[in-house]
Amino acid sequence: MNDLLSAQRSTVSDGMSVREAVEELTVTLASAGIPDAARIGADVIAALLGVARSWPLVNRDFNLDAGLLMAAREAAQKLTSGAPFAYAVGTAPFRHLTLEVDESVLIPRPETEMLVEAILARMSAEAVADADWGTAADIGTGSGAIALALACEGRFERIIATDVSLDALSVARRNIERNRSRLRAPVELRHGSSISPLGAERVRVLVSNPPYVAFSEGEALPPSVRDWEPPAALLSGADGMAVTAGIVRDGASILEPCGLLVLEVDERRASLVAELVMATGNYIAVGIGFDLTGRERFVFATRA
């Protein structure tokens, strides 16, 4: 078969084997200078099918249907224009869950998985026998990552998840539906800034991964972050502290006595955030947590 016929066959055929699809995606990706194109081509197929990364490597003769092929080609095109992998395929893994993501939400990060781990560890250590853990609130929930992971893995009675972005809340809503069978507690979505959507609630855990990059630092972010992720999820005033400072200032009013405040922070400002928390006079046991690379990335405090 000559090249032209072969190209037509690829474009109009109803299906294609995994092997052929990965070969086609590899050409698309490599011609745009994307390194490790074959691996990424296989990863695209795996992500769209919702299977392990190794699956395409051991199921090369599996026939992919036309819909999947179209989605894979679209994902490859997005990758060639510089899109992060998660936006190209429309999903991102977060702890035990697969979350839908689009350009209206931050792609959940591995360090935020650690933040969830730290909350679960502290709550398990404090919990009395089989008693539930009360209510947790996640400010700036984005895709719903923190809220859904806590609902999936914790023993909370309920989770309230907020965001200023209605588009982000739509993504979070779809993620609740998509993962409903895995959630052990209801997740309630509320629209608004900082703690205002919480009204007169009293919560046991107040957690947030707020935007914390200063406006002037935005240009220095990697292009895949700066050019693709929502500015409202990243940038927070001239000093990167606007949203964090608001939560620190007002959070104590909604935390139960002995309740836990947990914030993800920029490594350059962890001490500053910890000092702000102490200066409120409302907290005891203020501490800083580290990510896997030893950077200061979390601030923890207990409501006095």
* Binding stretches for ligand GLN (CB under 6 A): 109, 209, 211-213, 221, 225, 234, 264
CA dihedral sign, ordered 17, 20, 26, 28: negative
CA distance 4 to 187: 53
Residue 248 site contact among ligand GLN, ligand SAM, none (CB < 5 to 8 Å, cut-off depends on kind): none
Residue 243 site contact among ligand GLN, ligand SAM, none (CB < 5 to 8 Å, cut-off depends on kind): ligand SAM
Using only C-alpha atoms, what is the Rg of the chain?
22
- Report the residue number, 114 or 278, with the smaller CB distance to ligand SAM: 114
Chain-centroid distance of CA 248 in Å reads 22
Minimum CB–partner distance for residue 302 and ligand GLN (Å): 23
Q: Which stretch binds ligand SAM (CB under 6 A): 20-28, 43-51, 162-170, 255-263?
A: 162-170
- Indicate whether 162 belongs to the interface with ligand SAM (CB under 6 A): yes
Residue 241 site contact among ligand SAM, ligand GLN, none (CB < 5 to 8 Å, cut-off depends on kind): none
Residue 162 site contact among ligand GLN, ligand SAM, none (CB < 5 to 8 Å, cut-off depends on kind): ligand SAM
95 close to 153: Cβ distance less than 8 angstroms = yes
Strand pairing class (135-139; 203-208): parallel
Instruction: Report H helices in 52-135.
Output: 55-58, 66-80, 85-89, 110-126
CA distance 132 to 140: 24
- Indicate whether 101 belongs to the interface with ligand SAM (CB under 6 A): no
104 close to 163: Cβ distance less than 8 angstroms = no
164, 205, 270, 301: which one binds ligand SAM (CB under 6 A): 164
Minimum CB–partner distance for residue 201 and ligand SAM (Å): 15
43 close to 52: Cβ distance less than 8 angstroms = no
- Report the residue number, 25 or 92, with the smaller CB distance to ligand SAM: 92
- Indicate whether 251 belongs to the interface with ligand SAM (CB under 6 A): no
Interactions with ligand SAM, residue window 202-241 (CB under 6 A): 209-211, 232-233
Q: How many residues bind ligand SAM (CB under 6 A)?
A: 24
Tokens 């895709």, residue? 143
- Indicate whether 141 belongs to the interface with ligand SAM (CB under 6 A): yes
Residue 139 site contact among ligand GLN, ligand SAM, none (CB < 5 to 8 Å, cut-off depends on kind): ligand SAM
150, 243, 254, 299: which one binds ligand SAM (CB under 6 A): 243
- Report the residue number, 135 or 165, with the smaller CB distance to ligand SAM: 165
CA distance 87 to 106: 10
Both tokens assigned to 297: 């990335």
- In angstroms, what CA-CA distances link 21 with 4, 47, 67, 83, 226? 17, 14, 12, 20, 31
Chain-centroid distance of CA 152 in Å reads 15
- Indicate whether 165 belongs to the interface with ligand SAM (CB under 6 A): yes
- DSSP letter at 51 equals -
Q: What would the DSSP string read from start to end of 261-284?
A: EEEE--GGGHHHHHHHHHHTT-EE
- Indicate whether 46 belongs to the interface with ligand SAM (CB under 6 A): no
> Which chain residues interact with ligand SAM by CB under 6 A?
105-106, 108, 112, 139-143, 145-146, 162-165, 168, 193-194, 209-211, 232-233, 243
